[in-house]
Amino acid sequence: MAHLDTREKLAILADAAKYDASCASSGTSKRSSVGGKGVGSTEGMGICHSYAPDGRCISLLKILLTNSCIFDCHYCINRRSSNVRRARFTVDEVVRLTLAFYKRNYIEGLFLSSGIIGSSDYTMEQLVRVARTLRLDHDFRGYIHLKTIPDAAPELLEEAGLYADRLSINIELPTEAGLAKLAPEKNGTRIRGAMTGLKTAIDDNKDARKHYRRAPKFAPAGQSTQMIVGADSADDSAIVATAHGLYGAFGMRRVYYSAFSPIPDASAVLPLVSPPLLREHRLYQADWLLRFYGFAVGEVQDATDDGLLPLDIDPKTAWALKHRGQFPVDINRAPREMLLRVPGLGVKSVNAILRVRRQRRLDLADVGRLTRGIERLRPFLIAADWRPLALSDRADLRATLVKPAAAQMELFGS
């Protein structure tokens, strides 16, 4: 391999990492660099330091240690048979880049992943060395997310958890059949086995810290995973069910959905179409219904048409339109669970409504002040001065709730 300087390597190894959706830097323990020898702090809420024109937040330096890989997964740009340029960072290069970016306030920390080189253990060892150097040699207290190699030795995963805020293993595809077809060398059972290992280690650590406050923290921001959407034939119902299983079985903090996008030198097995971004968005909305709105998996699936979430309306509206009998909801009497079902009412609005309700009855104008707009809500609500007139029986209700497609913003028109 010709000699590449750090910037050339960065171009290759950032390009190779861009298919990972996760860039979160939130939810870890609170730290600062006060009293330390280095830089870095984490204060709960993550910070997005920039945004790319793809709308994704740039919070972490998200790179691969190397994009060489012994695996040949069809959806992956780094697969063995792919023709992309290969590069490999040294441990020291990653450490220096992370610190240089951090000190200029470009990033919250590092998200490091890697192609498999040599063996799983060897690769994992390299990842751990980067984290260890940052933490021990440089007293770096910013955020570190390490992508975990499923087959690596448990001791390595344990050490990784001591330095990293978050560990993740990608489930890759929503179904076992998809995995077998597109990532024949990966094994769903092994992936789930590694997730179980992480969950156990995280739970044990929480338990230990209850008894010994000084026990070192293990991956305080927990574990997350990613599913590629649109590369195989799994429908939204199947994806939601898989996600629900991942949250339940492994205590995932987040499941990320990544619309499959065409990659250079892709395998011919894959569909060559634009990434289904709207579908990805609807899946995130469905995910939120599961996690914050008290929806059961079956209820989210109920919002689909033959397994696919509608693209023209959000899943909560879709569910409401299929269960019109449960509306309108009385804003002054309904329990929290039912308020959360009203399309257009978010968790914050519902909490505010409940607070106000303790003091007085709300009218429609009050609701308007607590939400992003009353028009969409009207058909679903009863307020002190408002009762919808058979609105919820209207056949054309759906059409009135579809937002007109926003024209793309003209950013650089002459």
* Interface of this chain with another protein, residues 241 to 260, rule: CB under 8 A: 259
Does the protein bind another protein through residue 74 (CB under 8 A)? Answer: yes
Our measurement of the distance from residue 367's CA atom to the centroid of its chain's CA atoms, rounded to an integer in Å, reads 31
Bridge-based pairing state of the strands 50-51 and 57-58: antiparallel
Q: Minimal distance in Å, beta carbon 156 to another protein?
A: 27
Q: Minimal distance in Å, beta carbon 389 to another protein?
A: 24
Does the protein bind another protein through residue 7 (CB under 8 A)? Answer: yes
**C-beta closer to another protein: residue 275 or 388:** 275
Among 306, 325, 411, 413, binds another protein (CB under 8 A): 411
> Could you tell me the CA-to-CA distances from 44 to 97, 175, 203 in Å, in that order?
24, 33, 20
Q: Minimal distance in Å, beta carbon 155 to another protein?
A: 32
* Interface of this chain with another protein, residues 119 to 178, rule: CB under 8 A: none
**C-beta closer to another protein: residue 326 or 351:** 351
- HSE (CB half, 13 Å, CA atoms) of 38? 19
**C-beta closer to another protein: residue 162 or 270:** 270
Query: Please, what's the largest Cα pairwise distance for the chain?
Result: 74
Q: What is the strand order of the sheet 143-147 is part of? A: 60-64, 109-113, 143-147, 166-168, 223-229, 254-259
Size of the site for another protein (CB under 8 A): 80
Does the protein bind another protein through residue 50 (CB under 8 A)? Answer: yes
Among 29, 43, 118, 155, binds another protein (CB under 8 A): 43
> Could you tell me the CA-to-CA distances from 87 to 112, 125, 366 in Å, in that order?
15, 18, 58
**C-beta closer to another protein: residue 82 or 205:** 82
**C-beta closer to another protein: residue 125 or 287:** 287
Q: Check residue 379 and report its DSSP letter.
A: G
The Cα angle at residue 15 between residues 12 and 17, in degrees rounded to 5? 110
Does the protein bind another protein through residue 47 (CB under 8 A)? Answer: yes
* Interface of this chain with another protein, residues 351 to 390, rule: CB under 8 A: 352, 355-356, 358-360, 362, 366-367, 369-370
For 55, residues 6+ apart whose C-beta sits below 8 A from its C-beta are none
Q: Minimal distance in Å, beta carbon 112 to another protein?
A: 14
Q: Minimal distance in Å, beta carbon 256 to another protein?
A: 14
Q: Minimal distance in Å, beta carbon 11 to another protein?
A: 5
CB atoms within 10 A of CB 14: 13
Does the protein bind another protein through residue 56 (CB under 8 A)? Answer: yes
> Could you tell me the CA-to-CA distances from 148 to 35, 130, 153, 411 in Å, in that order?
31, 13, 11, 40
Does the protein bind another protein through residue 86 (CB under 8 A)? Answer: no
The Cα angle at residue 70 between residues 68 and 76, in degrees rounded to 5? 70
Among 29, 90, 92, 105, binds another protein (CB under 8 A): 105
Q: Minimal distance in Å, beta carbon 241 to another protein?
A: 21
Does the protein bind another protein through residue 33 (CB under 8 A)? Answer: yes
Q: Minimal distance in Å, beta carbon 369 to another protein?
A: 5
**C-beta closer to another protein: residue 167 or 370:** 370
Does the protein bind another protein through residue 49 (CB under 8 A)? Answer: yes
Does the protein bind another protein through residue 346 (CB under 8 A)? Answer: no
Q: Minimal distance in Å, beta carbon 126 to another protein?
A: 20
Bridge-based pairing state of the strands 329-330 and 381-382: parallel
Q: Cα–Cα distance between 256 and 247 in angstroms, integer?
A: 11
Does the protein bind another protein through residue 183 (CB under 8 A)? Answer: no
* Interface of this chain with another protein, residues 269 to 328, rule: CB under 8 A: 269-272, 274-275, 277
- Enclosing H/E stretch for 13: helix 6-15
The Cα angle at residue 45 between residues 289 and 215, in degrees rounded to 5? 105
Using H for helix, E for strand and C for coil, what is the string for 250-294? HCCCEEEEEECCCCCCCCCCCCCCCCCHHHHHHHHHHHHHHHHCC
Q: Minimal distance in Å, beta carbon 411 to another protein?
A: 6
